[in-house]
Amino acid sequence: MARKATERPRIVVLDGHTLNPGDNPWDEVGGLGVLTVHDRTAPELILGRARDADVVLTNKTPLTRETVAQLPELRFVGVLATGYNVVDVAACRERGIPVSNVPEYGTRSVAQYVFALLLELSHRIGDHDRSVKAGEWTRCPDFCFWKTPQVELDGKTMGIVGFGRIGRAVGEIAHALGMRVIAADVARRDAPAWPAFAWASVEELFRTADVVSLNCALTADNQGMVNARLLATMKRTAFLVNAARGPLVVERDLAEALAAGTIAGAAVDVVSTEPVKPDNPLLAAPRCIVTPHMAWASTEARRRLMQTTAGNIRAFLSGSPTNVVNPA
């Protein structure tokens, strides 16, 4: 039966838990139609849950060409993230279905998190907290101690791979901490006026930086870019931070480089398969911090994401969709 033009649109969220685990209400989205929110959706349940939806919202739940073909009511897809590779945007375009993403919501949160990782590598605050609570300071004959080298960032070189919104925000913080910033990007636009800033090739950046921060999108050209060959060119005192995408790094090569002392440490918020598999070599690698893809997840960033998602739906319903990634 055809849907009446006056009916409120049916909005289905396939995997809403990470956006709203309980502190980021769906009220603004819910006010735009009849809303159904699923915390998670297994592959075999996608069709059943989305079949009658006018609007489908997804973060990591895939909408393949085959799935899109079986959703007769679908009129709009909203991606609850910046990356939209989980949706077959070409199949949607062929059906005249706009797909919108949220291009900017967590820039400052991710940049801040990069430095949370870097400062933990530099000082190992968590390790020292645990050692004090285990009684080591109580038993220490001196007024202080440290179990790892303490690293001052002032005067060191921060190398940033990917100098878009997040990369530039990382650079701003590095500059404020007294670091020299160099950057590698396929599009070299608007160089900042920081003293000693320079563009570099990826190879030069890895060779000269004291800290390498990956802040680029994942593409077919850079998948596995950080491999044994590139790691071998880094300073033995250098740190690698990855808050971008896990497949940028050959994880076995990084684990072996850490075990061999090729570099001083690494911190990753992303891995090649998420959730992380128990046999991921980085879990057992020395001097390696692994966190669960949470750099984006500040309350403030998630609220911006929710607001922009509601705005995307509102714009579509008004006939002027915004943030469309598959224009006709």
Torsion of CA 186, 187, 190, 195, to 10 degrees: 0
Write out the H or E segment, with its range, that includes residue 288: strand 288-290
Rounded to 5 degrees, what are φ and ψ at 275?
Answer: -60, 155
CA 299 to CA 36: how far, in whole Å? 22
Instruction: Report the catalytic residues.
Output: 245, 274, 293
> Three-state DSSP class for 77?
strand
> Three-state DSSP class for 266?
strand
CB distance 211 to 159 below 8 Å: yes
Sign of CA dihedral 280, 282, 285, 290: negative
Sign of CA dihedral 192, 196, 201, 205: negative
CB distance 308 to 316 below 8 Å: no
Q: Long-range contacts: 179-187, Cβ < 8 Å, 24+?
A: 179/153, 179/154, 179/155, 179/211, 180/155, 180/156, 181/157, 182/157, 182/158, 182/208, 182/209, 183/159, 184/159, 184/160, 185/161, 185/216
Give, rounded to a whole angstrom, the gap between the first and last alpha carbons of the chain.
28
